């Protein structure tokens, strides 16, 4: 994010009045400050502290666009804010054709120098264009979290004129212009004492009490205020109440998703708005088909954060429409979609098929986070997709250094759950063993245990690491600050110990102490045994009763000496 100190400083200069502000500068180079301007600005710049006051605001990441790496600047016609059609929506509200043309040109620029150069050619600077320019500069300069705008932009004369104009009389700004200006400030690191910020926020609060704001302006202002002032801001609750009083039919798909994001950023008050959320979940069924890939990803993310487990019809419909978007999701968006489906326990065979077609050819170019999410999706829903599993295995063999310890575990675990060995299993587990030999201590204890346990399930027994697993030092690390080891970890250790006894008789290293061994693998909440299909179990029991004459002649769930349960 960036730090900006925006202050009025040019309003006393006759050359920089609103309509003549840029005429005096249009023949100057963008990065050149006229001598007269320098004389007036010098005291202000000299008074700046050596470093900006680092008061941090809540920040939402700038939208990534549908490119291969998800980090490219948006092409012409695509916005850089989280609402996909913000630029188009604002452009429709402009008063005349010249403003619309200027605003459209701003949207095409990919650098702040282009924006400032374009502004220097204008005879007059409409408020709407000033707000759009400020927003575009913040968009194109935003390269990641905790970034500040370059000093040459903050000290640029034209940039200062833009800020001064928006600050002079906010009451004259249209609702759309006010919303866009506040939106721009959310993309940068703004000094909370900035007079521009204070005046825009004050004007926003004034209009909430006296001016009828449309749905879109309310949505944009609400999200911007949360990022600038936090969810406890009194104006935010007022905006949510106003939005609840609006007819949902008046909401566009972008507005619906923005409202989900607003509620997502106010987790402490979700229970107060659950009735309204239920209405939103029902209404959203009608807009799913109109959602862009980015909006669909954001809606699913919000449903997860808001724990809307009762909104399964909406999740199912989103899953059906996500099929056609799979090639267009960015890495981050696809990862969020998969995380949501895992959270809600949703799977769709058409979605899985589309995922196979997308992942297999692009596996080497996908981010590790996405590959982990894909494998998590397959593992959680027991989806044996050989194209996906084979492609992920190949990606790991080719680029093992890309993956963190937790991601390596997330990649390998599904192979054990699904009892599947890829064609390159030998190369896969050779790479894995080499990584473990050199980075054993880098793996969190529970992550390492899950990883090696998964290997043993597909008969790739981690003999070379069993001595370390059963050592008192590792067991102490595994327990951590807890008073005792959890049941699942004990069960995994016991299975690995039985593997060393039954499958690897040549293993002569340390044994797992008896106190760490469980008596049965069939335990509530942490069972390592595959759950019995109830309908199949019921049919078998009925058949045996018919055959033997009574239930007392046979038993089920019989514990064997090796801790496994039969029946």
Predicted confidence at residue 8, as pLDDT, reads: 33
DSSP result, 205-266 = HHHHHHS---HHHHHHHHHHHHHHH-TT-HHHHHHHHHHHTS-GGG--HHHHHHHHHHHHT-
* Mean per-residue pLDDT over the chain, rounded: 80
Q: Compute the residue count for the chain.
A: 567
Highest mean pLDDT: which range of 44-48, 53-57, 317-321, 380-384: 317-321
Q: What is the pLDDT of residues 213-227, one digit of tens each?
A: 889 999 999 999 998
Question: What b/e readout covers 301-316, taking b as 16+ CB neighbours within 10 angstroms?
Answer: bbbbbbebeebeebbe
Predicted confidence at residue 531, as pLDDT, reads: 67
Q: What is the DSSP letter of 190?
A: B
Q: What is the pLDDT of residues 247-287, one digit of tens each?
A: 999 899 999 999 999 999 998 888 889 999 999 999 999 99
Stretch 330-342: mean pLDDT: 94
> Nearest Cα to 482, choosing from 451, 511, 528, 445?
445
Q: What is the pLDDT of residues 365-375, one digit of tens each?
A: 889 999 999 99
Distance CA 238, CA 213 (A): 12
Poorest-pLDDT segment among 11-20, 369-378, 402-411, 483-492 = 11-20
In the numeric block, which tokens belong to residue 372?
Answer: 């982990």
Going 220 to 223 to 226 to 227, the CA torsion angle's sign is negative
Per-residue pLDDT for 4 more than 70?
A: no
Highest mean pLDDT: which range of 87-101, 136-150, 365-379: 365-379
Predicted confidence at residue 26, as pLDDT, reads: 43
Per-residue pLDDT for 53 more than 50?
A: no
Q: What is the pLDDT of residues 228-238, one digit of tens each?
A: 888 888 889 89
Per-residue pLDDT for 41 more than 70?
A: no
Stretch 288-300: mean pLDDT: 95
Poorest-pLDDT segment among 20-34, 116-130, 166-180, 447-461 = 20-34
Distance CA 20, CA 125 (A): 8
Per-residue pLDDT for 79 more than 50?
A: no
Tell me the three state secondary structure of residue 523.
Answer: coil
Report which of residues 72 and 217 the model is more confident about: 217
Residue 70's contacts (CB-CB under 8 Å, 6 or more residues apart) are: 64, 330, 331, 332, 333
- Asked if residue 553 lies in contact with residue 508, where contact means CB atoms within 8 angstroms, the answer is no
Predicted confidence at residue 147, as pLDDT, reads: 67
Predicted confidence at residue 221, as pLDDT, reads: 92
Per-residue pLDDT for 34 more than 80?
A: no
- Asked if residue 315 lies in contact with residue 344, where contact means CB atoms within 8 angstroms, the answer is yes
Predicted confidence at residue 449, as pLDDT, reads: 94
Distance CA 343, CA 341 (A): 5
Predicted confidence at residue 467, as pLDDT, reads: 92
Predicted confidence at residue 100, as pLDDT, reads: 75
Q: What is the pLDDT of residues 511-544, one digit of tens each?
A: 999 888 888 777 666 556 666 777 888 899 899 9
Predicted confidence at residue 526, as pLDDT, reads: 56
Predicted confidence at residue 108, as pLDDT, reads: 86
3-state secondary structure 86-103: HHHHHHHCCCCHHHHHHH
pLDDT band for 32, please (50, 70, 90 cuts). very low
In the numeric block, which tokens belong to residue 45?
Answer: 């710049």
Tell me the three state secondary structure of residue 4.
Answer: strand
> How crowded is residue 264: how many other Cβ atoms within 10 Å of its Cβ?
21
């Amino acid at each position: 994010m960036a730090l900006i100190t925006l202050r009025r400083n040019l309003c006393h200069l006759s050359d920089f009045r609103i309509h003549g502000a840029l005429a005096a500068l249009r023949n100057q180079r963008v990065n050149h400050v006229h001598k007269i301007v320098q004389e007036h600005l010098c005291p202000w710049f000299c008074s700046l502290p050596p470093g900006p006051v680092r008061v941090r605001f809540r920040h939402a990441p700038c939208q990534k666009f549908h490119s291969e790496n998800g980090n490219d600047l948006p092409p012409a016609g695509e916005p850089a804010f989280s609402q996909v059609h913000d630029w188009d929506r604002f452009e429709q509200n402009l008063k005349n054709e010249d403003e619309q043309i200027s605003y459209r040109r701003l949207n095409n620029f990919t650098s702040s120098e282009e924006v400032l150069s374009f502004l220097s050619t204008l005879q007059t600077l409409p408020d709407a264009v000033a707000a759009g320019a400020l927003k575009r500069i913040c968009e194109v300069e935003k390269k990641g979290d905790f970034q500040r705008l370059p000093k040459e932009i903050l000290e640029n004369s034209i940039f200062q004129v833009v800020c001064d104009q928006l600050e002079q009389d906010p009451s004259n700004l249209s609702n759309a212009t006010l919303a866009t200006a506040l939106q721009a400030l959310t993309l940068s690191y703004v000094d909370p004492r900035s007079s521009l910020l204070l005046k825009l926020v004050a004007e926003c609060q004034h209009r909430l009490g006296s001016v009828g704001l449309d749905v879109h302006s309310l949505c944009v202002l609400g999200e911007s205020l949360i990022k600038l002032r936090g969810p406890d801001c009194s104006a935010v609750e007022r905006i949510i109440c106003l939005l609840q009083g609006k007819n949902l039919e008046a909401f566009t798909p972008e507005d619906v998703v923005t409202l989900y994001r607003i509620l997502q950023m106010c987790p402490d008050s979700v229970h107060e708005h659950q009735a309204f959320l239920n209405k939103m979940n029902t209404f959203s069924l009608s807009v799913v088909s109109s959602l862009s890939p980015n909006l669909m990803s954001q809606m699913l993310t919000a449903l997860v954060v808001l724990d809307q487990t009762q909104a399964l019809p909406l999740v199912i419909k989103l899953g059906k429409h996500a099929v056609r978007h799979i090639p267009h999701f960015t890495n981050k968006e696809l990862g969020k979609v998969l995380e949501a489906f895992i959270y809600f326990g949703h799977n769709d065979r058409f979605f899985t098929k589309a995922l196979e077609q997308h992942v297999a050819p692009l596996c080497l170019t996908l981010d590790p986070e996405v590959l982990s999410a894909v494998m998590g999706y397959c593992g959680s829903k027991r989806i044996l997709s050989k194209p996906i599993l084979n492609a992920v295995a190949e990606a790991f063999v080719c680029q093992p250094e890309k993956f963190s310890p937790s991601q390596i575990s997330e990649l390998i675990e599904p192979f054990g759950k699904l009892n599947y060995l890829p064609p390159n299993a030998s190369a896969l587990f050779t790479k894995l063993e080499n990584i473990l030999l050199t980075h054993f201590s880098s793996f969190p204890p529970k992550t390492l245990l899950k990883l090696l346990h998964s290997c043993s399930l597909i008969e790739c027994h981690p003999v070379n690491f069993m001595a370390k697993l059963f050592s008192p030092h590792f067991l102490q690390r595994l327990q951590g600050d807890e008073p005792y080891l959890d049941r699942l970890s004990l069960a995994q250790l016991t299975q690995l110990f039985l593997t060393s006894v039954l499958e690897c008789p040549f293993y002569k290293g340390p044994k797992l102490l008896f106190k760490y061994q469980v008596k049965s693998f069939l335990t509530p909440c942490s069972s390592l045994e595959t759950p019995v299909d109830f309908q199949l179990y019921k049919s078998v029991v009925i058949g045996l009763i018919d055959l033997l004459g009574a239930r007392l002649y046979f038993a089920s769930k019989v514990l064997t000496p090796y801790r496994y349960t039969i029946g």
